[in-house]
């Protein structure tokens, strides 16, 4: 038994020695925390490595003393147990040393935590709102607002096509920020608890309904950084990616101008009368982005999970006004049906309702125009 215990202890020491000898290559090991791309993320990484090496040193020291004691003072060598009952010196040592170690850990940890929480004097602010299962971004200084939704094709998700390089980490509208600016994020949720997490930034922040949590970042180099919702939030939790794109100030201002131009074009499109073909094409796109997860590609829904079928349903084939009301305001009897009025534009609502009333064999022939949606708001 002694030989087995000694062999296990030596293996543990050998593993620790390998880690100590790994040097900088350990930082690239895929299971280790990444340094990130911001000053804060690098502070967090440095703190992580400091605590790690302190733990390694303590572990090696304790096991070294333990192995030495077992080997040197074993019974076969005639070791006799000490008979003292107390030692003030030993008690002072084993109290002082851990205290100094904890202080050595607490000082850098507190410094990093204070830096993480310092959201004062930002150059710009962005509100992030979690929805099942997408993100909404409101640029509070630019009057820009949009949703960001997964764009990975269903064929890849269902295994019918080869998975892309950024499988489940690609969106239609990434969050775009300028470099060399302190950006404050105000994080909340519209329904359940989510968590906004981009590893390269060095932090994550919970999105809690009714509360606003804040965080900040400042990027120094252009680039694309990806993350995901880090809080289990329902059926499609795994389909809530985050894509953050950092741009130079010039490119960022060009993006802002494009966004405002697109918003103006969207507003203008809400005043025209759309054809059936236009509404169906637009509606199919909106349906795939916002409705397919619950009501399924063929409109069959998932009744056992509380997601009713649209194919042949009384709502999709009944009065258009009732259909419009439940899509805009949600269901009073089924909480799984969210209110999409605050989430979708008049054009998107008109298109998706028209699509649902004429797809899946419903074929009602009804058309809902953006003007009808505007009148119902």
Q: Is 139 helix (H, G, I), strand (E, B) or coil?
A: strand
Q: Find the radius of gyration of the CA atoms of the chain.
A: 29
Per-residue tens of pLDDT for the chain, all 377 residues: 444 443 444 344 444 444 444 444 444 446 788 889 999 999 999 999 999 999 999 999 999 999 998 888 888 888 887 777 788 888 999 899 999 999 999 999 999 999 999 999 999 999 999 998 999 999 999 989 999 999 998 889 888 899 999 999 999 999 999 999 999 999 999 999 999 999 999 999 999 999 999 999 999 999 999 999 999 998 899 999 999 999 999 999 999 999 999 888 888 888 889 999 999 999 999 998 888 888 998 999 988 888 899 999 999 999 999 999 999 998 888 888 888 988 889 999 999 999 999 999 999 999 999 999 988 88
Strand order in the sheet with 213-217: 144-148, 134-139, 124-131, 183-189, 213-217
H or E segment to which residue 189 belongs: strand 183-189
For the whole prediction, is pTM greater than 0.85? Answer: no
pLDDT of residue 17: 42
Maximum separation of any 2 CA atoms in the chain, in Å:
100
Query: Which residue in the block uniquely carries the two structure tokens 């009025």?
Result: 341
For residue 110, report the phi and psi dihedrals to the nearest 5 degrees. -65, -40
Query: Which residue in the block uniquely carries the two structure tokens 């534009």?
Result: 345
For the record, the structure tokens of 26 come out as: 């350990």
Burial 289-317 (b: 16+ CB within 10 A, else e): bbbbbbbbeebebeeeeebbbbbebebbb
User: With contact defined as beta carbons under 8 Å apart, do 174 and 245 qualify?
Assistant: yes
For the record, the structure tokens of 65 come out as: 């003393």
For the record, the structure tokens of 244 come out as: 């953050």
């Amino acid at each position: 038994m002694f030989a087995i215990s000694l062999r296990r202890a030596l293996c543990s020491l050998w593993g620790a020695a390998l880690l100590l000898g790994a040097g900088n290559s350990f930082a690239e090991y895929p299971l280790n925390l990444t340094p990130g791309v911001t000053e804060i993320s690098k502070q967090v990484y440095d703190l992580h490595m400091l605590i790690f090496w302190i733990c390694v040193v303590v572990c090696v020291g304790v096991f070294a003393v333990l192995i030495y004691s077992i080997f040197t003072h074993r019974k076969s060598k005639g070791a006799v147990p000490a008979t003292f009952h107390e030692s003030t010196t030993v008690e002072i040592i084993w109290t002082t040393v851990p205290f100094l170690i904890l202080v050595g850990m607490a000082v850098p940890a507190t410094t990093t935590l204070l830096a993480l929480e310092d959201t004062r004097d930002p150059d710009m602010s962005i509100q992030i709102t979690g929805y099942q299962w997408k993100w909404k971004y409101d640029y509070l200084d630019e009057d820009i607002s949009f949703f960001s939704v997964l764009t990975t094709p269903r064929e890849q998700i269902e295994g019918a096509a080869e998975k892309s390089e950024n499988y489940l980490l690609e969106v239609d509208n990434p969050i775009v920020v300028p470099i060399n600016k302190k950006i404050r994020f105000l994080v909340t949720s519209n329904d359940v608890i989510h968590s906004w997490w981009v590893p390269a930034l060095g932090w994550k922040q919970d999105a809690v309904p009714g509360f606003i949590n804040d965080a900040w970042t400042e990027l120094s180099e252009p680039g694309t950084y990806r993350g995901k919702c880090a809080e289990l939030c329902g059926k499609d939790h795994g389909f809530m990616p985050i894509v953050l794109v950092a741009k130079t100030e010039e490119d960022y201002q060009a993006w802002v101008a494009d966004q405002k131009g697109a918003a103006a074009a969207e507003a203008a499109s809400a005043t025209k009368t759309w054809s059936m073909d236009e509404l169906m094409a637009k509606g199919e796109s909106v349906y795939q982005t916002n409705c397919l997860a619950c009501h399924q590609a063929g409109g069959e829904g998932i009744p056992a999970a509380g997601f009713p079928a649209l194919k042949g349903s009384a709502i999709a084939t009944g009065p258009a006004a009732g259909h419009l009301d439940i899509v805009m305001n949600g269901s009073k009897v089924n909480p799984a049906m969210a209110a999409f009025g605050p989430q979708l534009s008049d054009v998107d609502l008109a298109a998706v309702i028209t699509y649902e009333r004429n797809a899946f064999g419903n074929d009602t022939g009804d058309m809902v125009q953006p003007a009808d949606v505007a009148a119902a708001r």
